[in-house]
A = this chain, B = another copy of it.
Amino acid sequence: MQVRGEHSPVSTIYDVAARAGVSIATVSHVVNGHGSIRQSTRDRVMHAVRELHFVPNNAARGLSSGSKKVIGLVFARVPSEWTTCSSSEEGTLLFTDSVIRGAELAAQRDGYSLLLHSTGGAKAASAVAALTGATDGLILTDRVLPERRVTPFARYFPIVLLAGSGRSRTSVTVRVDNRLGMHMMAEHLVVKHGLRRLAFLSGAAGSPDSDARADAFRRTAEALGATVEPGEWWRGDWSSAGAAVTVQRRLRLGAPLPEAIACANDSSAIGAQYALSAAGIQVPSEVAVTGFDNIPLARHLTPGLTTVHQPIQQLGVVAVEALLAKVSGAQTHARDIVLPTRLVVRASCGCSSDALAGLARWRSDDAMLVEEAS
């Protein structure tokens, strides 16, 4: 029924009670700070606790209290058995990690632990179901489960969606304002730089984030009289390697290059820029390149990467807060929480040092940040 390993001397509340000459109820009280306990009793108990290295067993605690104090964060992974990181995962590394840090921080603040699980494909549904029994609530990131398949879970279990379409009728969704970000980017390229022939290098196929960014970019660009090359030519996978390959393939096509390539994320932008440079094409004088995310490295690239800033860590924080609200029974209605994005102008779009210096540092009316080219 139970196997004790090498590291057995785990003590229970009974051991402590016996050692201190009190009942387990008393031990529970002093350990959890409930009720009022005579100081001498408390001391005896705490002494025993230390002597025996007593730590409450979370499983028992969870079983008794009905709350495991654990929430799960599920992210997508290509459904494979590989031990190595696929290139498409590389591109989402920074994103995922920032989310994790934010989530862990917020969870810890409320006394919860964070359980991590990656899944995808056919096994995703059963994996999510299993997690349902191990946690008090789940955060499902983009692409782990089609939104219609999360509904059944969300009906009887607290679930928050991270980066979905925002159209879920059963769950809270937390995401960033992709549309506004790419709208500002397109406007900047077309209006500010007068570029007319554009391209959007996408992220992984089927990603709502990538789709939203592509759509917003195209709409704004076309509304302003610019053209955007067909998406089939510009399929990426969030990674710098994937973007480099895509750009190289496009180069071999021979057709005149677009004047600007807006990438779905910063990693892709780095790969795109690399492929262009390797082919002897100057960025940004011949082709402008932009990103999305504003990873810390972005400002230290050459040229500095013009991109859209999104508060990734905050995304994790907000998702956890929304989830914990659900867990405690409040706020159970479906909501769409959208975090702001802002344009960060550096040099890769073609803004020169002079031009940057000429602009106001902050233009809060359209949430644009202009960095000095130091």
Q: Of A3-11, A204-212, A213-221, which stretch is located at the interface?
A: A3-11
Tell me whether A115 and B55 are in contact (CB under 8 A).
Answer: no
5 A-B pairs with least C-beta separation: A59-B62, A97-B97, A2-B66, A274-B300, A55-B133
Distance of A262 Cα from B113 Cα, bound (Å): 38
Tell me whether A113 and B113 are in contact (CB under 8 A).
Answer: no
Tell me whether B114 and A116 are in contact (CB under 8 A).
Answer: yes
Tell me whether A113 and B117 are in contact (CB under 8 A).
Answer: yes
Distance of A51 Cα from B322 Cα, bound (Å): 29
Let me know if A329 is at the binding interface, CB within 8 A.
yes
* This chain's copy number in the assembly: 2
Distance of A321 Cα from B276 Cα, bound (Å): 42
Question: Per-position contact with B for A1-32: 1 when CB-CB < 8 Å, else 0?
Answer: 11111111110000000000000000000000
**Those of A94-135 within 8 Å (CB) of chain B:** 94, 96-98, 100-102, 104-105, 108, 113-118, 129-134
- Shortest CB distance A95–B (Å): 9
Tell me whether B108 and A118 are in contact (CB under 8 A).
Answer: yes
Contact residues of A: prevailing secondary structure:
helix
Let me know if A223 is at the binding interface, CB within 8 A.
no
Distance of A61 Cα from B87 Cα, bound (Å): 37
Let me know if A239 is at the binding interface, CB within 8 A.
yes
Let me know if A68 is at the binding interface, CB within 8 A.
yes
Let me know if A93 is at the binding interface, CB within 8 A.
yes
Contacts beyond the supplied A53-B129, A267-B297: 15 A-B pairs with Cβ under 8 Å: A1-B66, A5-B158, A6-B329, A7-B326, A55-B129, A58-B133, A59-B59, A83-B314, A85-B101, A93-B98, A105-B118, A115-B116, A270-B297, A270-B301, A274-B300
Question: Per-position contact with B for A119-154: 1 when CB-CB < 8 Å, else 0?
Answer: 000000000011111100000000000000000000
Q: Which residues in B have their C-beta under 8 angstroms from that of A118?
A: 101, 104-105, 108
Question: Per-position contact with B for A317-345: 1 when CB-CB < 8 Å, else 0?
Answer: 10000000011110010000000000000
With A59-B62, A117-B114 as known contacts, state yes or no: A7 contacts B297, CB within 8 Å.
no
Distance of A85 Cα from B61 Cα, bound (Å): 32
Distance of A333 Cα from B317 Cα, bound (Å): 40
Let me know if A39 is at the binding interface, CB within 8 A.
no
**Those of A58-108 within 8 Å (CB) of chain B:** 58-68, 70, 83-85, 87, 89-90, 93-94, 96-98, 100-102, 104-105, 108
Tell me whether A7 and B156 are in contact (CB under 8 A).
Answer: yes
Q: Which residues in B have their C-beta under 8 angstroms from that of A274?
A: 299-302
Distance of A307 Cα from B62 Cα, bound (Å): 47
Number of interface residues of A (CB under 8 A): 85
Let me know if A234 is at the binding interface, CB within 8 A.
no
Chain A positions within 8 Å of B, measured between CB atoms, are: 1-10, 53, 55-68, 70, 83-85, 87, 89-90, 93-94, 96-98, 100-102, 104-105, 108, 113-118, 129-134, 155-158, 239-241, 244, 267, 270-271, 273-274, 277-278, 296-297, 299-302, 313-314, 317, 326-329, 332, 374
Distance of A158 Cα from B7 Cα, bound (Å): 7
Distance of A66 Cα from B10 Cα, bound (Å): 11
- Shortest CB distance A305–B (Å): 12
Q: Which residues in B have their C-beta under 8 angstroms from that of A327?
A: 5
Q: Which residues in B have their C-beta under 8 angstroms from that of A67?
A: 3
Residue among A7, A60, A93, A100 with the most chain B CB within 10 A?
A7
